[in-house]
Each structure stands twice: as structure tokens, then as C-alpha cells.
């Protein structure tokens, strides 16, 4: 069988560049070299070369996180170049990247989201009113971000200004939302329009971390990740279906991973959906996929297959 020429994109220009480079290296190692001729591109430097090579590329694997990677822009470029790629298209990527747009769509679908308020950097914000509207503790985050960058938890009104300034240094628009105390869960799904949920993962950041922040995410051993999550079967099924609904309502394709929190009353709050989740063999999505019967290389094969299928379907209707 003739090998497919695969463009592996990693690096990029977002604040998650290092995470992407790491995932890209691990994906490169895991790809079956009998099946794929792998060409590597770092969009920070190599977009011109990618465009020049486009005719000879059969499929792309986008292992980029955050702005100019996970937000629909690279997906748009690949659409123009007629190159199939894994995961969500322009619309799903952009919708999921923006935490305000995604909250509005989740709410329409009947998914529960923490009470929230949106602020733009052009506004004068009254810190007391901000805390009173949402109630303490609260979480401040950039509208478009990832890896918990720019995010803070505020326990005391005196700390709100620092948190707002920090979030605004990463985005013009930010979200202030109610802090939900409970069990943190993440739901991975695979498939285009009717995705299948994998077993849920329960996330327990170590004692030194107040939440699943950047260091808790990327320091080996800092966080316990338990798959399947040790929660009641009915709640687990409900959370898995929430992940499926979140994927569908945001128009995601291929795969996605939705972060949620289960409170002691049994309510499941949806935080966000990741369209290009971390992709080292020990990252959350590959762990869930493994519990669902896919090795890391099989997972990559499946994502490529789903991407090619979605590309063909899209072209039939244009
Ligand atoms: N409303 C909330 N209540 C409690 N913890 C939260 C809340 N929002 C975010 N967090 C914590 O911050 C982490 C990152 O938030 P998330 O919305 O998933 O953004 P990111 O895109 O940075 O992963 C979550 O995994 C969780 O630990
Ligand atoms: Mg998250």
C-alpha cells in the first residue's frame, strides 16, 4: 500500500507553544511509519513551506493549542489548501475556543454552566459589584485561553483587581464565574456527528494546588488522574452524555474533551470543551481512549480516518 503523506503541525505562536512541541514530538514517534510519510511543520516558521507542499500532502495532523492553532485559523488555511485534517473544522474550533460563545451554546442545549459575567477591557469595572454579582469565591479567566493561563481563583474581594488585570493581559474579553467546589471530571468523545464517549477521567490536583493550574497540568506526578472516574454510574453516564452534547452543540468533529465539575448535590457543571486536547501518550484524551480500547497509535489512525471522512463529506456539499 502506498504511504500517505502526512503533515504534522506543532509549535505555533500561542502561549501553549511548548506544550504543543512536546505533544508533536510524541505524536511523531507514535505514528506508524509503514503507513505515513511524515513531514513536520512549525506554523511559527513554516507556513510558506506548507502552502508550497500542499499538493503533495494527503492529510494534516494539527497538534497545536490555543490561538492560531486550535481556534479555526489553521483549519481555515487547510480548507483553502484542500488538505483534510483531524478534529473540528473552522466553526467548531472557533466556537469551542471562546468560553463565552460556548457557554451560550451549552445553555441553549440545557447544559448547566456556572453563573458568569462577561467584561471587556473598555469598561470601568467596580470590583465590589463584580464580586457581589457572582459571589465569592469566583474564577477569573480570559475568554480565549487554555492550559489555565491567565486564570485566577479569587477568595477575597481585595484580590479581584490583580486577577482582572492578569486575565486582561491575555485577552480583551474575560469571564468572571462562580467557583464550583466538587469533583473535577473530563469527558473525552470520538466521532464526527454522533461521537462515542470514552470512560470519564477524574482529576485530583495535588495538595499544593488550589486548582488544575498550568503547573498541576504539566508537572509529572502533580495531579492524580483516575480513569474511570469513581462516581456513581448514573452520574457518570450523565456526564458522558454531557460531553457528547457539548461536542454536538459546538459543532465539533472528530474528537473533543469537555471539562466538568460535579458538585456534592449531584449537579454537573460544564466548564469548556477542548478541540485539540493534549496529545502525549499520558495526556488525558489518550488515557481515556486507552480505557476505551485504543492504543495511542490506533487513536491517531482513527482521528486521521475521521478527518478524511469529514473532509470528503464537506467537499460533496460545496
Ligand atoms: N468555575 C470553576 N469552578 C472551579 N474550578 C474552576 C472553574 N473554572 C475553572 N476551574 C479550574 O480551572 C481549570 C481550568 O479551567 P478551564 O475552564 O478548563 O480552562 P482551560 O482552557 O484553561 O483549561 C479547571 O480544570 C478547574 O480546575
Ligand atoms: Mg480545561
**CATH code, domain with 126:** 3.30.1490.20
**Does residue 29 belong to any structural domain of this protein?**
yes
Active site residues: 16, 147, 218, 257, 259, 272, 274, 278
**Does residue 310 belong to any structural domain of this protein?**
no
H or E segment and range at residue 100: helix 99-108
Please check whether residues 195 and 75 belong to one and the same domain. no
Please identify, by atom number, the ligand 1 atom nearest to the C-alpha of residue 274. Answer: 21
Round the CA-based radius of gyration of the chain to a whole number and report it: 19
Q: For position 216, what pLDDT does the model report?
A: 84
Say if residue 107's pLDDT is above 90.
yes
Q: For position 148, what pLDDT does the model report?
A: 87
The pLDDT > 70 percentage for the chain reads 100
| Model confidence pTM above 0.85 | yes
218 lines ligand 1 (CB under 6 A): no
Full residue range of the structural domain in which residue 12 is found: 4-87
How many Å lie between the centroid of ligand 1 and the Cα of residue 213?
8
Q: Please answer whether residues 46 and 73 qualify as being in contact, where contact means their C-beta atoms are separated by less than 8 angstroms.
A: no
Q: Please answer whether residues 28 and 8 qualify as being in contact, where contact means their C-beta atoms are separated by less than 8 angstroms.
A: yes
- From the CA of 146, the nearest ligand is 1
Pick the residue whose CA is nearest to atom 21 on ligand 1. 146
The mean pLDDT of the chain is: 96
139 lines ligand 1 (CB under 6 A): yes
Separation between Cα atoms, residue 135 and residue 132, nearest integer Å:
5
Please check whether residues 138 and 45 belong to one and the same domain. no
Please check whether residues 17 and 79 belong to one and the same domain. yes
Q: Decide which of 157, 178, 199 is a domain's last residue.
A: 178
Model pLDDT for residues 111-160, shown as the tens digit of each residue: 999 999 999 999 999 999 999 999 999 999 999 988 889 999 999 999 99
**Total number of domains in the chain:** 3
Say if residue 190's pLDDT is above 90.
yes
How many Å lie between the centroid of ligand 1 and the Cα of residue 269?
11
Q: For position 318, what pLDDT does the model report?
A: 73
**Does residue 69 belong to any structural domain of this protein?**
yes
Please check whether residues 100 and 225 belong to one and the same domain. yes
Q: For position 211, what pLDDT does the model report?
A: 85
Of 144, 256, 133, nearest in space to 192 by CA:
256
Pick the residue whose CA is nearest to atom 17 on ligand 1. 271
User: Strand locations in 255-312, DSSP E?
Assistant: 255-262, 268-274
Say if residue 13's pLDDT is above 80.
yes
Q: Please answer whether residues 184 and 226 qualify as being in contact, where contact means their C-beta atoms are separated by less than 8 angstroms.
A: no
How many Å lie between the centroid of ligand 2 and the Cα of residue 311?
27
272 lines ligand 1 (CB under 6 A): yes
Please check whether residues 199 and 284 belong to one and the same domain. yes
Q: For position 9, what pLDDT does the model report?
A: 98
How many Å lie between the centroid of ligand 2 and the Cα of residue 259?
6
Triad 303, 12, 249: Cα angle to 5°: 45
How many Å lie between the centroid of ligand 1 and the Cα of residue 148?
7
Please check whether residues 291 and 174 belong to one and the same domain. no
Q: Please answer whether residues 28 and 279 qualify as being in contact, where contact means their C-beta atoms are separated by less than 8 angstroms.
A: no
Confidence at 181, pLDDT banded by 50, 70, 90: very high
176 lines ligand 1 (CB under 6 A): no
184 lines ligand 1 (CB under 6 A): yes
Which residues surround the ion ligand 2 when the cut-off is CB under 5 Å? Answer: 259
12 lines ligand 1 (CB under 6 A): no
**Does residue 259 belong to any structural domain of this protein?**
yes
Please check whether residues 77 and 174 belong to one and the same domain. no
**Does residue 27 belong to any structural domain of this protein?**
yes
The DSSP line for 126-154 is: -HHHHHHHH-SSEEEEESB--TTTT-EEE
Say if residue 234's pLDDT is above 90.
yes
Confidence at 245, pLDDT banded by 50, 70, 90: very high
Q: Which three cell numbers stand for residue 23?
A: 505533544
261 lines ligand 1 (CB under 6 A): yes
Residue 188, Cα to own-chain centre: how many angstroms? 10
Amino acid at each position: 500500500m502506498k504511504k500517505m503523506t502526512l503533515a504534522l503541525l506543532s509549535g505555533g505562536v500561542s502561549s501553549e507553544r511548548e506544550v504543543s512541541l512536546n505533544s508533536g514530538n510524541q505524536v511523531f514517534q507514535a505514528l506508524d511509519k509503514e503507513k505515513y510519510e511524515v513531514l513536520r511543520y512549525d506554523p511559527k516558521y513554516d507556513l510558506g513551506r506548507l502552502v508550497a507542499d500542499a499538493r503533495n500532502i494527503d492529510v494534516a495532523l494539527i497538534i497545536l493549542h490555543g490561538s492560531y492553532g486550535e481556534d479555526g485559523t489553521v483549519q481555515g488555511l487547510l480548507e483553502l489548501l484542500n488538505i483534510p485534517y483531524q478534529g473540528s473544522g473552522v466553526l467548531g474550533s472557533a466556537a469551542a475556543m471562546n468560553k463565552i460563545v460556548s457557554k451560550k451554546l451549552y445553555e441553549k442545549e440545557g447544559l448547566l454552566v456556572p453563573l458568569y459575567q462577561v467584561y471587556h477591557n473598555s469598561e470601568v469595572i467596580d470590583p465590589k459589584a463584580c464580586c457581589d454579582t457572582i459571589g465569592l469565591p469566583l474564577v477569573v479567566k480570559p475568554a480565549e485561553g487554555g492550559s489555565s493561563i491567565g486564570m485566577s481563583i479569587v477568595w477575597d474581594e481585595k484580590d479581584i483587581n490583580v486577577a482582572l488585570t492578569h486575565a486582561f493581559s491575555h485577552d480583551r474579553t474575560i469571564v468572571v464565574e462562580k467557583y464550583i467546589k466538587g469533583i473535577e471530571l473530563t469527558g473525552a468523545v470520538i466521532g464526527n456527528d454522533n461521537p462515542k464517549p470514552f470512560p470519564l477521567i477524574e482529576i485530583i490536583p495535588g495538595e499544593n494546588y488550589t486548582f488544575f493550574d498550568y503547573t498541576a497540568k504539566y508537572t509529572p506526578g502533580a495531579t492524580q488522574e483516575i480513569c474511570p472516574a469513581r462516581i456513581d454510574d448514573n452520574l457518570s453516564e450523565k456526564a458522558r452524555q454531557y460531553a457528547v452534547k457539548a461536542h454536538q452543540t459546538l459543532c465539533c468533529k472528530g474528537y473533543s474533551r469537555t471539562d466538568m465539575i460535579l458538585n456534592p448535590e449531584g449537579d454537573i457543571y460544564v466548564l469548556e470543551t477542548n478541540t485539540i486536547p493534549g496529545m502525549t501518550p499520558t495526556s488525558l484524551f489518550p488515557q481515556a481512549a486507552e480505557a476505551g480500547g485504543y492504543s495511542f497509535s490506533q487513536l491517531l489512525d482513527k482521528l486521521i480516518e475521521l478527518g478524511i471522512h469529514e473532509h470528503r463529506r464537506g467537499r460533496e456539499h460545496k
